[in-house]
Chains A and B, each alone.
Chain A
């Protein structure tokens, strides 16, 4: 089957029932998407499919053949960080960093759909992403910063 990940085309021989998360991590060595629960409940595995955030741990790889898949590794362009990646650094919006790729991709998905989200909209869009270190206030600030809103 053919997968399009971060604008690169890959031809793979894999069980179509395998979850996208494990194909990304174990076949393509794109380990930015994390295993957190395997049940679509924590958001650590979030990737973008055609620009929309999807839980890769419960997405069979057969369902995303030929679609545009974006992982955290594909977000920076030519070494230049995406504005939300930059905002995460500015806002110190991480501690252990394990939820960070999923948080950023959920945030990027939101900003593509809603370029100027309100705070309640940010909370709703990221509700499915867990940060156990509790950096939620800083993540909200980072999304606002990337949206060009007020500085946090």
Chain B
């Protein structure tokens, strides 16, 4: 992709730079007509919106939709309001927060606004829903087009009523003539209209005057989810649809050397497909499909591949070692930290339905990058992009894990062979094996400090895990931070918060060790070295709510804290842990090591002006729970091209029994623009827990996860 387009994307989103998954050997219209009558507002693209114009394959190719527009909105003849965005809903609740933004500007109740999301034929181009960009970048577009629609309604009313527009106001879903007292609904003005206006936006409502934004509006389609009415990709059907599955290679990077599908081919209604190293089958139902796949005989060959045992040695082996910083200091500290690969484990595995009609391909799939997947499909099947449509139903979570189009491509390949629509749902084992992982990494920190506890030197070297959150927020006169990419043994890519979790774990663990070296309180030590007011504020807010310094640590109970900033969000986290004996399993069994139990977590978070307090709390709590897994026990175990723990029974994710008491402190800054909040709250938990373990036991654990098989004292 052109360099200008890659600039907005973090280097560590490896999945966006990958080569196509399969090399198959296959043999501006009047766009706004579909919208119907009424008032249509088209928001011209400005420079803020162009930040979204990037991503793999998402070049400015000719497309069905007008490329120069950032957003569009229609008020129908009946007054119904539809607003179109290329963003996807994956549980982060932007369907609600973006509707709040539009409803705020149009002065209508939340329920009056319907969002049409993530359909490459219907909605404006979007690079993808990641990087916590929706709130800072898309919400302002929604507000602008909403405000422009409000102004356009005033224009319409002024000309219909032949009064000056200054005497017209829009409030409570109505347009009012203040002179006459007459008041009408939007549909009254848009009826019979066929008006398409391109606008640059209009003045938006500042946070200090919000009435709907800033409130805890309930999730707009929650009812469909509690009744089972919502259709995720895996719930959809198409007429004549078959079920498809891929036969996976024996190991990663394996080549197919022999293939025998005679037996599978004899099962009625089964079609077996082989195209290069791709092998798959379709059948009328899941049960027959599994039988068919099981009956295909294949042999594969592959080279020897690294294993988790030698991972950290491997990651540093082939990278030129940086020069060690040379400095004078009263105290010096060198330490190495490691983080394991972990899996996203979205509860809805990757899924897609593909349908070919007259050479046009339509795919329904759960992805965070509809246009990225569209481009992958066009490239793989050698189609012009206007003959590919990708539709994303609200999806069963993603966490950065659904940026690519494997399931879409596989379903499309099988559908092409079967000449019928095909639904393909990855099994849990496939999801644990063939998706990409959060990168593993090694981090070296070398630091120096005065005897009074002022940090004077800081060298931070990150191997493979990633550069997000790599810069220290502390005020250190002599500091460097470097990221060294490595040819990863496993496929790796984006994960909620990217490498900010790993980098904060290393940095904030190290900060605690420095504090201990001068006998300083961890909170005071941080504040002494930190000038950033926003970060100080959340750290102090968390400490205050937590009652920092009030609890007495014992050998099996400790308290720790950590703070950090990333993607415009500021987080402070305090944690209380206990070391509890594991359950006694019987006299003949060697006692297992004790467990680390997180008892209580307080997280203070600030992301500018808060759009929806309840949903923000929900995201913070969810980040805390998800972070527990990576902090204590989640790790991908692998050997020679195979994943050894591709099941919930062997890859443990946080469950109800792991849940601590979670408290949140929301710091609302109405004077600052809103930033995203789905990711950054995750970064503080692991170091806060590690610091609490250290306080209780004196044992500093420098690897994530910290207690995969229980608590073991570090050497």
Which residues on A are within 8 Å of B, measured CB to CB? 15, 17-19, 22, 25-26, 29-39, 41-42, 44, 71-73, 75-76, 81, 85, 88-89, 92, 94-101, 104, 122-124, 126-127, 129-138, 140
Contacts and interface: CB of A to CB of B under 8 A. Distances in A.
With most chain A CB atoms within 10 A of its CB, the pick from B219, B235, B345, B626 is B235
A130 B653 contact: yes
B129 to A, nearest CB: 13
A33 B615 CA distance: 25
Contacts of B623: 134
A126 B452 CA distance: 51
A130 B618 contact: no
The 9 A-B residue pairs with the shortest CB-CB distance in the complex, in nearest-first order: A32-B228, A134-B625, A96-B91, A98-B396, A97-B225, A72-B228, A41-B648, A95-B91, A31-B235
Interface stretch (B173-181, B307-315, B354-362, B656-664): B656-664
B343 to A, nearest CB: 10
B287 A15 contact: yes
A36 B227 contact: no
A89 B235 CA distance: 22
Contacts of B593: none
A137 B396 contact: no
Given A96-B90, A134-B654, A136-B655, 6 more contacts: A37-B428, A81-B226, A88-B222, A101-B228, A127-B655, A134-B625
B121 interface: no
Contact of A132 (B92, B228, B286, B345): B345
B396 A136 contact: no
A73 B228 CA distance: 6
Nearest to B397: A96
A81 B229 CA distance: 13
Interface string B419-430: 000000101100
A5 B345 CA distance: 30
Contact of A130 (B622, B648, B659): B648
A81 B20 CA distance: 46
A126 B656 CA distance: 7
A123 B659 contact: yes
Contacts of B230: 97
Q: Which of A34, A81, A98, A131 neighbours the largest number of chain B CB atoms within 10 Å of its CB?
A: A98
Nearest to B287: A18
Contact of B348 (A33, A34, A134): A34
A37 B651 CA distance: 12
Contact of A92 (B219, B223, B285, B427): B219
Contact of B647 (A39, A98, A130, A137): A39
A122 to B, nearest CB: 8
Contacts of B625: 131, 134-136
B347 A36 contact: yes
B649 interface: yes
A97 B222 CA distance: 8
A38 B622 contact: no
Contact of B618 (A26, A34, A138): A138
A98 B397 contact: yes
B428 A137 contact: no
B249 interface: no
Contacts of B659: 123, 136-137, 140
A24 B581 CA distance: 43
A136 B628 CA distance: 13
B396 A135 contact: no
Interface string B228-255: 1111101101000001000000000000
Nearest to B344: A132
Contacts of B606: none
B395 interface: yes
